[in-house]
Amino acid sequence: MKPKFLPSKKDLKIFFDALPSLKYKIIFIALASSGLRISELLNATIDRNKRMFIPESHDGGTKKSWVTFYNEETDNLIESYEGNPFETSRNTVAHVFKEISNITGINISAQTLRSVFAHEMGLKQTPDRYIDAFCGRVPANVLAKHYSDYSPDVLKNIYEKADLEYFN
């Protein structure tokens, strides 16, 4: 297995600044701060009071959605946008990200931002089982499955302690 190389915060900022509109900047930072898959983000219900994304429920072998949160950077951008910035297709987002990757020479996709989220949460000492929960994966080990509280209030507290910031 080859080691994974994630973009630096400087590269994230260069890519972010090159995005063509506020809509795609919001999608970018929402992905980086929530751990959601692109389809989950685009179909999520947003609770602005709790800064919480509630993805449409789906259940598969490895993909289960619960709740996750977004940071203040995302909230500030959403507040300045008229309408719903998540009304677009995953193919359109992939196309825009590919175009900006070509322009900047920095290869970033929605999946890359999911990995960035997990990495940043790990750097903040967030336990893996909660990072997995934010990303929609509840682990099968005994501690995580039977003895961990995944209620929205507990997850919100854990998320807030991480205090994710990318550009402030």
> The domain spanning residue 29 has which CATH number?
1.10.443.10
Distance CA 165, CA 117 (A): 10
Range 44-64 average pLDDT: 77
In a domain, 2, yes or no: no
Measured CA to CA, the distance from residue 113 to residue 28 in angstroms comes to: 8
- The reply to whether 60 falls in a domain is yes
Q: Residue 104: which of 96, 112, 93, 94 has the closest Cα?
A: 96
Domain span holding position 39:
9-162
pLDDT at 141 over 50: yes
Query: Has residue 136 got a pLDDT over 70?
Result: yes
Do the domain assignments include residue 82?
yes
Strands 68-69 and 52-54, sheet pairing? antiparallel
The answer to whether position 56 is within a domain reads yes
Over residues 74-115, the pLDDT tens digits come to 999 999 999 999 999 999 999 999 999 999 999 999 999 999
Domain membership of residue 30 (yes or no) is yes
* Within a domain: 4: no
Element (H or E) spanning 123, and its range? helix 110-123
The predicted structure's pLDDT at residue 56: 82
Q: Give how many domains the chain has, as a whole number.
A: 1
- Coil, strand, or helix at residue 99? helix
Q: At which residue do the structure tokens 């039977």 appear?
A: 146
With a pLDDT cut of 70, the percent of the chain lying above it is 89
Q: How far apart are CA 85 and CA 51, in angstroms?
A: 15
Using pLDDT thresholds of 50, 70 and 90, give the confidence band for residue 60: very low
